[in-house]
Amino acid sequence: MKLREKAYESFQQRLMALDLRPGQFVSQRELVALTGMPLGAIRELIPRLEADGLIVTIPQRGMQIAAVDLKLVRNAFQLRIILEKEAIASFAVKARTEEIEALADAYDRIVAKSRKGISRELLEEAQTTDWAFHDTLIDSLGNDILSAIYRVNSIKIRLIRLDRVLLSPDSLMPALKEHGDIIAALRARDSARAVVALERHLTSARNRAMGVQTVDASVPPAAPRSRPRSAKVAR
């Protein structure tokens, strides 16, 4: 891995660890100290961070980490919905049964654990499982350009969640139910239904980030294992 790629990865890690906060001003030397990368690598990194919208250079003040505001929430989730709807429509039809069942098994494990009580460890596991689920959808397209765009936007989504909407016991149950609906549609190979369920899920996440989500704390059932007789396979 090239030095500038290591610097970019280290920058992401510091963001996710909240060593760098949205809206914070930071100098090149501070980035050197935080990332452990040499000054030359940081100088090469800055134009990429600016292009990705992760920092803004403000005259007379320096570099500012992207601020989390309503505009960022709307823009980041709009892009995410566009990309993931394309991905899941394809995944519902083309994915191997084993791939769908692997996603379903991961979901069912979280549901089973949630019935015994919701701990901080479970919330972290659920969040990791959620990221992996959505990354799988995007990567299934086999389009390196879309995957790269999605990964940059995903950093912004993670910043939004860290700043505004950490997963909580109240929000976990609705999110699991939404995932269950998506998985049921995937098992039925119903791409149209999967797109609707996914958009509902992402819209709920966006609304929670904007503070307008209605919470339904009902415990979701495990996703059904068999395809309903009335379901049609999307072609």
Phi and psi at 138, nearest 5°, equal: -65, -45
Would you state the pLDDT for residue 218? 44
Q: In whole angstroms, what separates CA 116 from the centre of its chain?
A: 26
Nearest partner of 225 among 174, 197, 190, 183, judged by Cα = 183
| pLDDT at 121 > cutoff 80 | yes
Query: What pLDDT score was predicted for residue 62?
Result: 86
Which pLDDT value is given to residue 235? 36
Structure tokens at 205: 């996440």
Residue 219 has pLDDT above 90, yes or no: no
Residue-wise pLDDT for 22-77, tens only, equals 889 999 999 999 999 999 999 999 999 999 999 998 888 889 998 889 999 999 99
**Which residues lie closer than 8 Å to 111 by C-beta, 6 or more apart?**
176, 180, 219, 220, 221, 222
Q: How high is the pLDDT of residue 2? A: 83
User: Can you name the residues that pair with 56 across neighbouring β-strands?
Assistant: 64
The pLDDT of residue 190 is: 98
**CB within 8 Å of 169: residues ≥ 6 apart:** 118, 123, 217
pLDDT digits (tens, 9 = 90+) for 129-176: 999 999 999 999 999 999 999 999 999 998 888 776 566 778 888 899
DSSP secondary structure letter of residue 67 = P
Opening angle at CA 206, ends 142 and 185, nearest 5: 55
Interatomic CA distance for residues 112 and 126, integer angstroms: 12
Domains contained in the chain, CATH given = 3-65 (1.10.10.10), 70-210 (1.20.120.530)
Could you give the C-alpha distances from 32 to 3, 36, 37, 42, in angstroms and in order? 13, 5, 5, 7
How far is it, in rounded angstroms, from Cα 110 to Cα 32? 39
C-alpha distance across the termini of the chain, in Å: 41
Q: What is the per-residue pLDDT across 68-107, written as a single tens digit (0 to 9) for each? A: 899 999 999 999 999 999 999 999 999 999 999 999 999 9
Q: Which residue from 135, 207, 220 is spatially nearest to 180, judged by alpha carbons? A: 220
Three-state SS annotation for 2-66: CHHHHHHHHHHHHHHCCCCCCCCEECHHHHHHHHCCCHHHHHHHHHHHHHCCCEEEECCCEEEEC
Least confident piece of the model among 161-170, 204-213, 219-228:
219-228
Strands of 55-58's sheet in order across: 25-26, 62-65, 55-58
